[in-house]
């Protein structure tokens, strides 16, 4: 059975400003690079991983490279399925800006935001493929908050009715006897 470590990328300037990032291709800021370095140091001391996969978005690729340099693992592949939700017209806006532009019920409008079910399906397809292709391997996957959260909600709905995924948090899942289990959720001990 594969062990999959899901990592949210390090923080960006837009994270700090509360702006929806979606598929906007942003780099990490200095704090985000520091977070990724600390997570890499955690992995180099505590855990041995066989491979590193990342979303194609720059903030995830940059996080993966920093971790990979520390644990001596190159990026094995880039997978578009684990990229962030497309936030359509709200990308680059804060909640206050969305309220001012579209009103308090902006989330009920058709603003080109990717369907949550489609995001969860992409994430689940990725996990099933990793589990099938890399049995008995330990795989780190650097992705994004909404993708990880929506995938967990679909994968383990009783356990994850809601989710919040911190920057550079680690969530570990495994499939045992045809059943997925979460061993660790949203862990940021490396940032303490």
Please answer whether residues 27 and 150 qualify as being in contact, where contact means their C-beta atoms are separated by less than 8 angstroms.
no
Other CB atoms closer than 10 Å to residue 134's CB: what's the count? 18
Q: Is 15 annotated as a binding residue?
A: yes
Q: Is 10 annotated as a binding residue?
A: yes
Active-site annotation holds for 9 = yes
The residue annotated as part of the active site, out of 84, 91, 131, 144, is: 84
> Which residue(s) pair with 184 in the sheet?
172
The residue annotated as part of the active site, out of 9, 43, 144, 190, is: 9
Q: What DSSP line would sit under 35-61, residue for residue?
A: HHHHHHHHHHHH---SEEEE-SSHHHH
Q: Beta 179-187 vs 170-176: how paired, if at all?
A: antiparallel
Can you tell me which residue has the tokens 């001391």?
45
Q: Is 3 annotated as a binding residue?
A: no
- Chain-centre distance for alpha carbon 110: 25
Q: Is 180 annotated as a binding residue?
A: no
Q: Is 59 annotated as a binding residue?
A: yes
What are the angstrom distances between the C-alpha of 174 and each of 52, 102, 122?
16, 41, 18
Residues 6+ apart with CB under 8 A from 177: none
Q: Is 9 annotated as a binding residue?
A: yes
Which residues are designated catalytic?
Answer: 9, 84
Q: What residues are designated binding site?
A: 8-15, 59
Q: What residues are designated binding site for substrate?
A: 8-15, 59
């Amino acid at each position: 059975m594969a062990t999959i470590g899901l990592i949210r990328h390090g923080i960006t300037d837009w994270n700090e400003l509360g702006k929806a990032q979606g598929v906007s291709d942003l780099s990490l800021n200095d704090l985000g690079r520091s977070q990724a370095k600390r997570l890499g140091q955690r992995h180099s001391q505590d855990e041995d991983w066989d491979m590193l996969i990342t979303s194609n978005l720059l903030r995830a690729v940059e996080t993966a490279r920093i971790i990979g340099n520390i644990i001596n693992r190159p990026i094995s592949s880039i997978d578009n399925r684990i990229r962030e939700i497309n936030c359509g017209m709200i990308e680059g806006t804060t909640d206050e800006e969305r309220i001012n532009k579209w009103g308090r019920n902006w989330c009920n409008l058709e603003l080109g935001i990717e369907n949550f079910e489609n995001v969860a399906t992409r994430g689940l397809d990725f996990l099933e493929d990793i589990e099938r292709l890399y049995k008995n391997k330990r795989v780190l996957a650097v992705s994004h908050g909404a993708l990880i959260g929506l995938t967990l909600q679909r994968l383990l709905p009783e356990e994850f009715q809601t989710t919040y995924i911190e920057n550079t948090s680690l969530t570990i899942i495994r499939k045992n006897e045809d059943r997925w289990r979460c061993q660790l959720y949203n862990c940021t001990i490396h940032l303490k």
